[in-house]
Amino acid sequence: MRVVAFMALLLSMCLSVRGSELHPLVLIPGSGGNQLEARLTEAYKPSSLVCCLSAVERRIEGWFRLWFDPTVLVAPLTRCFAERMTLYYHGDIDDYRNAPGVETRVPYFGSTQGLLYLDPNLKFITNYMATLVDSLEEIGYEDGHNLFGAPYDFRYGLASEGHPSQVGTQYLQDLRQLIEAASAANGGKPVILLSHSLGGLFALQLLVRNPLTWRRKYIKHLVTLSAPWAGTVQEMLTFASGYTLGIPIVDPLLVRGEQRSSESNLWLLPSPTVFGNKPLVMAPNKTYSAYDMPQFLKDIGYNEGVIPYNTRILPMTDRLMEPGVPVTCMVGIGIETPEVLFYGTEGFDVQPEMVYGDGDGTVNMISLLALESEWADSASQVLKVIKLPGVSHTSILKDGAALKEIIGEIRGINSVSLSSVL
């Protein structure tokens, strides 16, 4: 009889965890990990006849999907996409704004809907978090009940103290309100934050910019996937030559200007604090380390990026502050990742030769593990690092072994101590 009673108790615990006892969970995507919509006004001035004709059609539509739009793969329309995605830094207000005549919005805030597929009409090739969400639903999570999405305009970033960042700061305010609402809707339980890539940087900034009392009341755990804590060498490739995610039919030079304009991309350049003086880019007469970033930006022809990098971004990367809540970092390892870029006499308009090192294919190992080294001497910060061999930066959201680890970690955070029940 005791065995039967014990098994019944275990069963009731499992059912409880599957339902009302789950801590609410908020998903925070990475750069490019959610849909983005735009609307063109009369102030929009297209750069070509093709973009003009496209603008007429888009104005008739009203709001349209800016990201992801498969027309970016068609060369004449790639330029139209790029000019609509471009941000501009305004020195007079020390902040970033959209291109004139381009209004943008982020659909489905609070829901996972905008995170599942970047284009719902192309599910097979634009699956972002759909597989991960399916796995969360299998253990009892439900969109809008105890599972929420926090998409954002990933072109924008944040700035160091004393500098305005209208869009990024508003996102942190919206994220805080979502967390508080999710907790209130689930009996006051603190929230699990589950982030991917750039989302981890936003999550950490949210925590350290709010009082410790708030963090301990509303945050149960932060779980990050593939977080580029100290930036990536690949981001220097993006700034120097443009990056097309390996899609050969897209000219990287057509999107380079738009990629350079992204405030969040500046944030993802390698941090001097972590990467140190190691050569990251080598040109015929110049070698660049993370400490040489201002000169690097000048030499690639992006002078307008120097001031915002020096004043807004660099001070923010000096130190990775401890959030005072438990953190689990899950990272892919064992994938060739750009570590040094070699440019020849052709200059920065040509894709470089590369030397590869360890990482997840996008983020270098030293960046993935930056929290481990930064917080090594901390007596109070709880940090767990889970390494996933052979798992890439984006496949961590779909790979079977990776999903098993992620769900196992979420289950563990949610688990109810048998001794406390007894």
Q: What is the DSSP letter of 189?
A: P
Active-site annotation holder among 23, 196, 221, 393? 393
* 36: number of Cβ within 10 Å: 22
Could you read off the pLDDT of 186-240 as tens digits, one per residue? 999 999 999 999 999 999 999 999 999 999 999 999 999 999 999 999 999 999 9
Active-site annotation holder among 69, 153, 292, 360? 360
What is the C-alpha to C-alpha distance for residues 220 and 372, in angstroms, rounded to an integer?
20
Give the pair of three-digit tokens for residue 88: 């501009």
Question: Average pLDDT in the 319-330 region?
Answer: 97
Quote the pLDDT of residue 233. 98
Residue 253, burial from CB neighbour count under 10 angstroms (0-12, 13-18, 19+):
middle
- Reported confidence tier of residue 90, pLDDT bands at 50, 70, 90: very high
393 is catalytic: yes
- Reported confidence tier of residue 75, pLDDT bands at 50, 70, 90: confident
299 is catalytic: no
Quote the pLDDT of residue 35. 96
**Buried b / exposed e along 305-316 (16+ C-beta atoms within 10 A):** beebbeebbbeb
Could you read off the pLDDT of 13-43 as tens digits, one per residue? 444 445 568 999 999 999 999 999 999 999 9
Q: Is the dihedral of CA 173, 200, 30, 141 positive or negative?
A: negative
SS3 365: helix
Region of poorest pLDDT, from 145-154, 195-204, 243-252: 243-252
Question: Average pLDDT in the 393-414 region?
Answer: 97
Quote the pLDDT of residue 100. 97
Please give the C-alpha separations between residue 406 and each of 133, 376, 384, in angstroms, as whole numbers.
Answer: 11, 23, 13
Could you read off the pLDDT of 151-194 as tens digits, one per residue? 999 999 999 999 999 999 999 999 999 999 999 999 999 999 99
292 is catalytic: no
- Reported confidence tier of residue 418, pLDDT bands at 50, 70, 90: very low
Nearest to 414 by CA among 142, 19, 23: 23
Give the pair of three-digit tokens for residue 244: 């097309």
What is the C-alpha to C-alpha distance for residues 379 and 70, in angstroms, rounded to an integer?
49
Name the average pLDDT for the chain.
Answer: 92
Active-site annotation holder among 135, 165, 183, 197? 197
What is the C-alpha to C-alpha distance for residues 158 and 201, in angstroms, rounded to an integer?
10
